[in-house]
Amino acid sequence: MVCEFSESVLDEVADALVARGYVCLDGIIDPQLVSALRDKVFNDDGAHLRPASIGRGHEQHRNADIRGDSIRWLSHECQTDSRYLTLMESLKDGLNRRLYMGLFDYESHYALYRPGAFYKKHVDALKGSQNRILTTVFFMNPDWQSEHGGLLKLYEEDGTPLEDIAPLMGRLVIFLSERFPHEVLPTEVDRASIAGWFRVAGSRHGF
């Protein structure tokens, strides 16, 4: 299984980030890996999902009014997780080569939104030195229908709605973390995703 993005995909992502700050890509991840990732949420690992919290460190707390998903962090100890993380490493290297973004490390979690769950409008970048610079959201929902809800809604910095993105199987969305407020609209059916963030080392980056 190939665990790196092609040069042409990396070119496309880099060009889109420069032009618009975000990109939505379909079918760029091996379908076998996509279904293995989905199985992690719905089969073997479902029991390890925990209600998500918000904030960082001692400011971290659960707040079901803001987000209702359950999560599990990816780890290189699991082979399927590791394949996804290796793929994201190739994205990091490819973007650093093209845009000198200084992306340093990556953290990501599976998220399961049960019917009725949502994540209110927020910005991913957290306060502190290890800031989140680039967000990835990957979807694993076959047969998604518009009546299922659960759209990822992106906004401009000034709050103007920008794009509603359906959480379709195999779709990867990448955006600059500080620039785009976004929310997950309430879902009617189980909705699985992997949210991830690249951070820079040390101080804030001026991209």
Ligand X SMILES: O=C(O)CCC(=O)C(=O)O
The answer to whether residue 172 forms part of the interface with ligand X (CB under 6 A) is no
The answer to whether residue 178 forms part of the interface with Fe ion (CB under 5 A) is no
Which one of residues 69, 81, 124, 178 is an interface residue with Fe ion (CB under 5 A)? 124
CB of 8 to ligand X, least distance (A): 26
The answer to whether residue 182 forms part of the interface with ligand X (CB under 6 A) is yes
Residues with Cβ within 8 Å of residue 13, at least 6 apart in sequence: 5, 23, 25, 91, 94, 95, 174
End-to-end CA separation in angstroms for the chain: 33
The answer to whether residue 137 forms part of the interface with ligand X (CB under 6 A) is yes
* Stretch of residues binding Fe ion (CB under 5 A), selected from 98-106, 122-130, 163-171, 185-193: 122-130
The answer to whether residue 177 forms part of the interface with ligand X (CB under 6 A) is no
Alpha-carbon separation of residue 64 from 83, 90, 103, 137, 167 (angstroms):
31, 35, 31, 21, 21
The answer to whether residue 81 forms part of the interface with ligand X (CB under 6 A) is no
Which is nearer to ligand X, 62 or 97 (by Cβ)?
62
The answer to whether residue 178 forms part of the interface with ligand X (CB under 6 A) is no
By CB under 5 A, how many residues form the interface with Fe ion? 1
**The two three-digit tokens of residue 138, written as one number:** 């990957």
State the binding partner of 34 from Fe ion, ligand X, none, CB within 5 to 8 A by kind. none
Q: How far is residue 107's CA from residue 95's CA, in Å, rounded to a whole number?
A: 17
List beta partners, residue 182. 122, 154
Question: Coil, strand, or helix at residue 92?
Answer: helix
What's the per-residue H, E or C state across 9-53? HHHHHHHHHHHCCEEEEECCCCHHHHHHHHHHHHCCCHHHCEECC
State the binding partner of 29 from Fe ion, ligand X, none, CB within 5 to 8 A by kind. none
Which is nearer to ligand X, 42 or 100 (by Cβ)?
42
Binding-residue pattern over the window 94 to 133 for ligand X, x denoting contact by CB under 6 A: -----------------x-------x----x---------
By CB under 6 A, how many residues form the interface with ligand X? 9
State the binding partner of 111 from Fe ion, ligand X, none, CB within 5 to 8 A by kind. ligand X
The answer to whether residue 37 forms part of the interface with ligand X (CB under 6 A) is no
Q: How far is residue 116's CA from residue 114's CA, in Å, rounded to a whole number?
A: 6
Chain residues in the site for Fe ion (CB under 5 A): 124
